[in-house]
Amino acid sequence: MLYSEIADVFDRLEVTSSRLEMTSILSGFFKDLDPGSLRNVVYLSQGMLHPDFYGAELGMADKLVLRSVAFISGVSESRMDELWKKEGDPGKIAEYLLQNRKQVSLFSEPLTLGKVLRNLTLIENAEGRDSQDKKMKYLSNLLMDSSPVEARYLCRIVTGRMRIGAGSMTMLDALAEAFGTKEDRPDIERAFNITCDLGLVAEVLAGGGVEAVRKMKVTVGNPIKVMLAERLPSIPLILDRMDGRCAMEFKYDGIRVQAHISKDSVKLYSRRMEDLTSNFPDIAAELRKQCKAGTAIIEGECVAVDPEGGMLPFQNVTHRRKKHGMDKAIEDYPVRIFMFDILLADDEDMTVRPFEERRAKLEGIFDVSEKVQFTTMATVSAPEEGEAFFSLALGKKCEGIMAKSLSQESIYRAGSRGFLWIKYKKDYEEALTDSFDLTVVGAFYGRGKRAGKYGALLMAVFDEDSGHYCTVCKLGTGFDDAFLAGLPDMLDKYLSEGRPHMVDAEMMPDVWFLPTVVLEVVAAEISLSPIHTAARNIVKEDAGLGLRFPRFTGRVRDDKGPEECMTANEVLSMYEMQAQDKE
Instruction: Judge whether 251 counts as a catalytic residue.
Output: yes
Q: Which is nearer to ligand AMP, 374 or 483 (CB)?
A: 374
Site for ligand AMP (CB under 6 A): which residue of 92, 320, 353, 423?
A: 423
* Number of DSSP helices (H) and strands (E) in the chain, helices first: 21, 21
Report the Cα 422 to chain-centroid distance in Å. Answer: 21
Contact 467, 483 (CB under 8 A): no
How far is the C-alpha of 470 from the C-alpha of 536, rounded, in Å?
Answer: 9
Position among 12, 118, 256, 321 found at the interface with ligand AMP (CB under 6 A)? 256
Report the residue number, 158 or 298, with the smaller CB distance to ligand AMP. Answer: 298
| Candidates 25-33, 245-253, 317-325, 497-505; binding stretch for ligand AMP (CB under 6 A) | 245-253
* CA-closest candidate to residue 271, choices 333, 313, 229: 229
Query: Under the criterion CB under 6 A, does residue 375 sit at the interface with ligand AMP?
Result: yes
Residues 398-417 that bind ligand AMP (CB under 6 A): 402
Report the DSSP beta bridge partners of residue 402: 249, 423
Query: Rounded to the nearest whole angstrom, what is the least distance from the CB of residue 557 to ligand AMP in the complex?
Result: 9
CB of 158 to ligand AMP, least distance (A): 33
229 or 539: CB nearest ligand AMP: 229
Nearest alpha-carbon partner for 52 in 163, 201, 164, 197: 197
Query: Min. distance of Cβ 545 from ligand AMP in angstroms?
Result: 19
Shortest distance (Å) from residue 257 CB to ligand AMP: 8
- Kindly state the helix (H) or strand (E) to which residue 272 belongs, with its residue range: none
Instruction: State the sign of the Cα–Cα–Cα–Cα dihedral 164, 168, 170, 172.
Output: positive
Question: Is 340 a residue that touches ligand AMP (CB under 6 A)?
Answer: yes
Kind and range of the H or E run holding 512: strand 511-513
Quote the least distance from Cβ 473 to ligand AMP, whole Å: 19
* Site for ligand AMP contains 53 (CB under 6 A): no
C-alpha 372/C-alpha 72 separation (Å) is: 56
> Cβ distance 170 to 162 under 8 Å?
no
CA distance linking residue 312 with residue 303, whole number of Å: 7
| Smallest separation (angstroms) from ligand AMP to the CB of 248 | 9
- What is the C-alpha to C-alpha distance for residues 228 and 213, in angstroms, rounded to an integer? 24
Paired strand residues for 258: 269, 299
For the CA atoms of 374, 191, 204, 122, the dihedral, rounded to the nearest 10 degrees, stands at: -60
What secondary structure does DSSP assign to 378-445, as a single string? EEE-SHHHHHHHHHHHHHTT--EEEEEE-STT----TT-EEEEEEEEEHHHHHSSS--EEEEEEEEEE
Nearest-angstrom CA–CA distance, 413 and 144: 48
Binding residue (CB under 6 A) for ligand AMP from 19, 163, 190, 251? 251
DSSP string of 534-583?
BTTTTSSTT-EEEEES-EEEEEE-TTS-GGGS-BHHHHHHHHHHHHHHH-
CB of 250: closest distance to ligand AMP in angstroms?
6
Q: Does 301 bind ligand AMP (CB under 6 A)?
A: yes
User: Which long-range contacts link 128-137 to residues 24+ away (Cβ below 8 Å)?
Assistant: 132/64, 135/60, 135/64, 136/64, 136/67, 136/68, 136/71
- Total residues binding ligand AMP (CB under 6 A): 12
Provide, rounded to whole angstroms, the least separation between the CB of residue 394 and ligand AMP: 13
Exactly one of 92, 251, 267, 371 is catalytic; which is it? 251
CB of 195 to ligand AMP, least distance (A): 20
340 contacts 300 by C-beta, under 8 angstroms: yes
474 binds ligand AMP (CB under 6 A): no
Contacts of 146 (CB under 8 A, 6+ apart): 94, 98, 111, 154
The residue at minimum Cβ distance from ligand AMP is 256
Q: How far is the CB of 340 from ligand AMP (least distance, A)?
A: 4
Question: What are the Cα distances from residue 360, in Å, to 104, 194, 341, 401, 568?
Answer: 68, 22, 10, 20, 36
Interaction between residue 89 and ligand AMP (CB under 6 A): no
Closer residue to ligand AMP, CB minimum distance, 64 or 350:
350
Does the protein bind ligand AMP through residue 422 (CB under 6 A)? Answer: no
Contact (Cβ atoms closer than 8 angstroms) between residue 305 and residue 334: yes
Query: CB of 532 within 8 A of CB of 442?
Result: no
Residue 229 Cα to chain centre, angstroms: 16
Q: Which residue from 249, 463, 504, 520 is in contact with ligand AMP, where contact means CB under 6 A?
A: 249
In whole angstroms, the minimum distance from the beta carbon of 513 to ligand AMP comes to 23
Q: Which residue stretch of 142-150, 203-211, 246-254, 501-509 sits at the interface with ligand AMP (rule: CB under 6 A)?
A: 246-254
Q: Which residue lies nearer to ligand AMP by CB, 11 or 356?
A: 356
Query: How far is 392 from 135, CA to CA, in rounded Å?
Result: 56
The CA distance from 61 to 266, in Å, is 32
Query: Of the candidates 29, 138, 192, 252, which one interacts with ligand AMP according to CB under 6 A?
Result: 252
Between 265 and 294, how does the x/- string for binding to ligand AMP read (CB under 6 A)? ------x-----------------------
Q: Which residues form the catalytic set?
A: 251
Residue numbers at the binding site for ligand AMP (CB under 6 A)? 229, 249-252, 256, 271, 301, 340, 375, 402, 423
